[in-house]
Structure 1
Amino acid sequence: MAQSSTVAARSTVWEVFLVFLKLGTTSFGGPVAHLGYFRAEFVERRKWMDDREYADLVALSQFLPGPASSQVGFGVGLLRAGGWGAIAAFVGFTLPSAILMVGFAYGASWFTGPIGDGLLTGLKIVAVAIVAQAVWGMARTLTPDRPRAGIAVIALATTMLLVGSVGQIAAILLGALGGLIFCRTSVDDRPDMLRFPVRPAVGITSLVVFVVFLIVSPILAAATGNGGVALFDAFYRAGALVFGGGHVVLPLLQAGVVDPGWMTNAEFLAGYGVAQAVPGPLFTFAGYLGAIADTGPGGIWGASIALIAVFLPGFLLLVGVLPFWNTFRRHPWAQAVLRGANAAVVGILAAALYSPVFTTAITGPGPFLLAVVCFVVLVAWKLPPWVVVIIGAGGGVVLTLH
């Protein structure tokens, strides 16, 4: 992936890898919580970008199929250290949970029993504090006036009324329209604040490769009868056809691996349960499925095929769109659209804070109190997120044992 001559890498590949490895080890709670962890690390702590830049990348990732939080991480790595930085970000963020999920496929049944249940409870509660901090911080920056605050509220309502990725996409489209109508009073004096090091030719090539894999893989799988190709095709289609990532991909994965008889539904659900308790992207669930599938090489090689296939389409689409995104956002009308879309992102995150984050984690006074404690030490005491993870996990064990 070539780097533009106008953009210099501002971090080493090794630095990007280590930052994302830490996030991949400590970011519990699913894709919405991951966006909160990312904001805390890249906007607040490291100052790699500001809230507007971050929200731009989040909005773009919400538009595209694939794992939204991983696409945001991939984009941050690309911005900071070019193509190798993007790969380092992906590997660092994905590796911890992938190792845990493949380990479970080999029979390591972690996160079971009272202590395991308590850890899972605490990690869900931590996600409430992390997402709440992200919503609070982004709201102050991205909804500073009445029009954008109103757009955020409309986006929140839209996301809650239209469940799933349809609601998220509709909310961003409505936010973009609202920005175009109500947010054209000022022109951003930094229209080129995110200049991704991807040339148009590379972007077009990525889009072509995306389409070729989508069309050729099922044909090749049917023609050859090769299990590895069939495995790649099933996971590539799942990654290519899901918006928002996270739990939305589960029905596609279930249809891809259970319906053909590659595993039982009980095996599928057992892996899904463990995927709730590990950090990093939920898409690493594919590693477990690839390792135990009755087709393909199985084991580590099967897991590798499944992991590459499920993440690849989202990254190809992101790289394909980024060079044209740079051109798009130079125009004053486009800046107005982005202001509205960014305000909508706040509403989307606020809706996700309520459901599923709050509704699944806060089941009584004890969990609510622990969530407040985590929020206070995160926002007022400004402790790093990994410390809050430890506090929340320990508190969850205490709540479960009592």
Structure 2
Amino acid sequence: MFEIFCKFFILGCVSFGGPAAHIGYFRQAFVEKHKWLSDKDYGQFVALSQFLPGPGSSQVGFSIGYHRAGLPGAIAAFLGFTLPSVMVMLVIALLSQHFLNNTIFEGVVHGLKLLAVIVVADAAWGMFNNFCKQKISVALCAFTAIALLMVPSLYTQILVLIIAALIGKYFLIPKERSEQRTLSKMKLNWPPLVIFISLLVVLPLFSHLNAHTKLFSDFFQAGSFVFGGGHVVLPLLENLVGEQLSQDAFLTAYATAQAVPGPMFTLATFLGFELLPNSPITGAFLATVAVFLPGFLLILIVLKNWQALASNPSISGAMNGVNAAVVGLLLSALYQPVFQSAVINGIDMALVVLGIYLLKSLKLPILALVTFYSLFGVLSIYL
């Protein structure tokens, strides 16, 4: 458990760039470097996170921890990856907005955004080589990327994944077919399902009892309906608790969550801190747990039978289609928001090319690249 926690904690300290970049960091660490799981298993975890509401990259990390050491491993992975971001959000909530306007801090963030471009590009290339070996899968990858670049929306993402699954079901069935398994023989993981339904349906009935219950209920509901990651959770939370906080507080939390490493869902830490002024640390803790919990419960409901389901030829073919589409998702994310928000001029593009060389040819470790690009970001302020 300590090993899992430490490895995810290190990633949590350097994983800038949002969910798409996190997927790249995870793949490089746990598929290529540590070899905890295969590219196929990793692709299934990524695909599963795309179908379920919740924080996508955190769900992938949770699944990796579960694959490695069961539920304790999943919890250790979540704590390790999330704790650095939570700690930074708490510090910034305590120190107000002055830190956000610091030019040196802005320079560091710019440099790390360039590193995110490199990591996402590497992930897209690696997954393309593994999941797009047939003409149909290459076409699905291209179709997904084109669709999301032309019509970037949550509904487009869901639609192309469904189309990819249907096409894969009929045209991407593996040559070596596994033994058919009927869905009726699959056993649901009842405890997390009961907990999820109870908290979603029953808890709001008691939310009027005290501020702590209402806070947990509001953030749990927001986490239960978020498809598309941290960018979507903000308007949901604003609708739920917007009357209790100023718009400036929401925008500060949002900007901070984008600037710090780790999952963007930790904006709940900042908001929870502000919503319970009499017990801010408790508020931050409750909000953070509540917004992450639904996505993890849904993972536990499905993940237990995910491998068995994937062994079914039709489902395996559908997963092959979804895996190809996930590569397209990464390609579209590489352009928007990763590339567009990071590369401003020719010097930035040159640094991206250099970074790809340092990562792929010289095999420079991530921490060295983080240091290099942080320093470049600071220097760019004075150039």
TM-score (norm 2): 0.94
Residue aligning to 2:246: 264
Q: Is 1:38 the counterpart of 2:26 in the alignment?
A: yes
Task: Indicate how the Cα distance of structure 1 residues 305 and 321 shifts in structure 2: closer, same or farther if over 3 A, else same.
Answer: same
Q: Is 1:160 the counterpart of 2:149 in the alignment?
A: yes
Deviations 1:320-367 (A, max 9, x none): 111232331121222111111111110010010011111111111121
RMSD of aligned C-alpha atoms? 1.9
Q: In the TM superposition, what are the counterparts of 1:375-386 in structure 2 within 5 Å?
A: 375-386=356-367
Residue aligning to 2:207: 221
Residue aligning to 1:282: 264
Residue aligning to 2:37: 49
Residue aligning to 2:226: 242
Structure 1: distance between partners of 2:137 and 2:155: 21
CA drift of 1:274 comes to: 1.7
Structure 1: distance between partners of 2:343 and 2:192: 42
Q: Which moved more, 1:82-91 or 1:101-110?
A: 101-110
Q: Which moved more, 1:249-258 or 1:236-245?
A: 249-258
Residue aligning to 1:357: 338
CA drift of 1:298 comes to: 3.5
Q: Is 1:368 the counterpart of 2:349 in the alignment?
A: yes
Residue aligning to 2:104: 115
Structure 1: distance between partners of 2:19 and 2:300: 20
Q: Is the 8 A contact 2:179 2:312 kept in 1?
A: no
Q: Is the 8 A contact 2:174 2:313 kept in 1?
A: no
Q: Is the 8 A contact 2:148 2:157 kept in 1?
A: yes
Please state whether the residue corresponding to 1:110 is helix, strand or coil.
Answer: helix
Residue aligning to 1:179: 168
Equivalent AA in structure 2 for residue 101 of structure 1: M
Task: Indicate how the Cα distance of structure 1 residues 188 and 104 shifts in structure 2: closer, same or farther if over 3 A, else same.
Answer: farther
Residue aligning to 1:21: 9
TM-score (norm 1): 0.90
Structure 1: distance between partners of 2:381 and 2:231: 25
Residue aligning to 2:136: 147
CA drift of 1:297 comes to: 4.9
Residue aligning to 2:217: 233
CA drift of 1:191 comes to: 11
Structure 2: distance between partners of 1:152 and 1:292: 43
Q: Is the 8 A contact 2:21 2:116 kept in 1?
A: yes
Residue aligning to 1:124: 113
Structure 2: distance between partners of 1:185 and 1:205: 33
Find 1:170's aligned residue among 159, 167, 171. 159
Q: Is 1:335 the counterpart of 2:316 in the alignment?
A: yes
Structure 2: which 5+ runs fail to align?
none
Deviations 1:12-55 (A, max 9, x none): x1111111011111111111100000000011101111221111
Deviations 1:197-220 (A, max 9, x none): xx946x222112111111122211
Task: Indicate how the Cα distance of structure 1 residues 188 and 140 shifts in structure 2: closer, same or farther if over 3 A, else same.
Answer: farther
Deviations 1:258-289 (A, max 9, x none): 2x2x2211122122222222111111111111
Structure 1: which 5+ runs fail to align?
1-12, 193-198
Q: Is the 8 A contact 1:156 1:171 kept in 2?
A: no
Please state whether the residue corresponding to 1:276 is helix, strand or coil.
Answer: helix
CA drift of 1:171 comes to: 2.0
More helix by share: 2
Residue aligning to 1:209: 195
